[in-house]
Structure 1
């Protein structure tokens, strides 16, 4: 089942889906699996597994630290793919690879796509790869049934949104504000207007991320976005209060 079809089917019984985020190997793969179990129990619909990278340019301080510490602990790309396979076989939610283009470049785009496919992933998010340079990777992905997730931002012109929309498949990731991940975002009219702008240029489902941290934020997105993307907020809870805190966080979020 393709990502867009999966989202549309889930939306028949839920007005807003939730996508969560885990940094592979931080603080450990065992902790990652425990977090995924909590997310699955809460009813999370998708999870992006971040492959740690030395220069995560789209990430805020907390995720930068998580990437650095995972790499210092010896996390490898092979381990991330092995973990993706374990998770995709164990859980009902769909899994995306999130990372940076260097990972695909070093192993070769064809190998990168094949490994995501073999590990049970349905797509990938590479925020540092411009669409102008992605033709070959997107072609390989289409042949394998793997979806490249395009990012749309508040600074994109209508012309740029049209270009991004033409390249979009599976879903679009709408960045709720300027900057990197981690800071709080006011989910008000500006975000709703941004989602409406983006919808004019794509027919695929729209997820909104960067700064979503509460049930109130999710409620503000209902009727506008298709998915709410939770990243830093969940990692902050894990750092502060571990598995018990994360369980309460997602229970309250999904209530």
Structure 2
């Protein structure tokens, strides 16, 4: 959305991807902001992952980020780091994650599912084979924080070939020139990390956030999403009109561990109520 107009995808074929179409449809429906939630696959186990996604679906979440666990998740804070390590200890593998993703894509077709992982996992699987598998099971986009576009041409080519969107990340410290470059390479949406650093810490939204999001909006050829440190319905309310998608990750995991699925459901209802108010 730019000046109230839904944006098209930034892919090289200049055609709207399925992910971009779905986001645009959500904007056109009158929702002031859409929600993207996060799950580390295999933590605490796949049954819990499924129940969380069921709650996401029941509470109107449009996009879900499925993280394939990795031993050294450089973009993740201590909560996600511990969950990654526990998921691996539980026996989570890429193959099990692919099988689970195929199941939830089929069971919850209204949700756009996105994989998040690290480049080493993609390389070990085989770059082209990994992207092809994602496309085959219905994954709409890929967030790979350490796959820098200048160094991952094979990955970007595979994404274009198979129609899976490579979603790139920018921060408040990204220069205008770099922002313009990454905006031209991303697909589906531009992921705006609300602050520099790792996931999980509280972000204080204010004038600096507004300035960054204005720069991102000016540069973006796609919708923009904001993540890192969104912890409450009030944070989501602040972001209305400033971005297209609010991303909630660590807070959901904290609530799940502290209050169980009932606590997660209550939190999601508060978010849904905020989203529904214009």
Tell me whether 1:249 sits opposite 2:261 in the alignment: no
Match of 1:46 in 2: 63
* Count of aligned pairs: 255
Residue among 18, 29, 37 paired with 1:2: 18
Residue among 70, 80, 90 paired with 1:73: 90
Deviations 1:180-234 (Å, cap 9, x if unpaired)? 0000111222112111101222210000000001111011111110000000011
Q: CA RMSD in A?
A: 0.9
Tell me whether 1:135 sits opposite 2:160 in the alignment: no
3-state SS of 2:28 partner = coil
Match of 2:276 in 1: none
TM-score, reference length from structure 1:
0.98
Mean Cα deviation higher: 49-58 or 116-125 = 116-125
3-state SS of 2:192 partner = strand
TM-score, reference length from structure 2:
0.90
Q: Matched residues in 2 for 1:250 and 1:203: separation?
A: 30
Unpaired runs of 5+ residues, structure 2, are 1-16, 274-278
Match of 1:177 in 2: 195
Q: Matched residues in 2 for 1:126 and 1:223: separation?
A: 27
Q: Matched residues in 2 for 1:168 and 1:202: separation?
A: 9
Residue among 218, 221, 231 paired with 1:200: 218
Q: Matched residues in 1 for 2:205 and 2:58: separation?
A: 26
Residue among 158, 162, 173 paired with 2:180: 162
Is contact 2:184-2:221 (8 Å) kept? Answer: no
Match of 1:95 in 2: 113
Is contact 1:17-1:45 (8 Å) kept? Answer: yes
Match of 1:21 in 2: 38
Cα distance, 1:16 vs. partner?
0.1
Tell me whether 1:116 sits opposite 2:134 in the alignment: yes
Matches within 5 A, 1:229-244: 229-244=247-262
Is contact 1:168-1:202 (8 Å) kept? Answer: no
Cα distance, 1:134 vs. partner?
2.0
Match of 1:12 in 2: 28
Q: Matched residues in 1 for 2:169 and 2:153: separation?
A: 16
Q: Matched residues in 2 for 1:218 and 1:234: separation?
A: 14
Match of 2:50 in 1: 33
Q: Matched residues in 2 for 1:37 and 1:189: separation?
A: 36
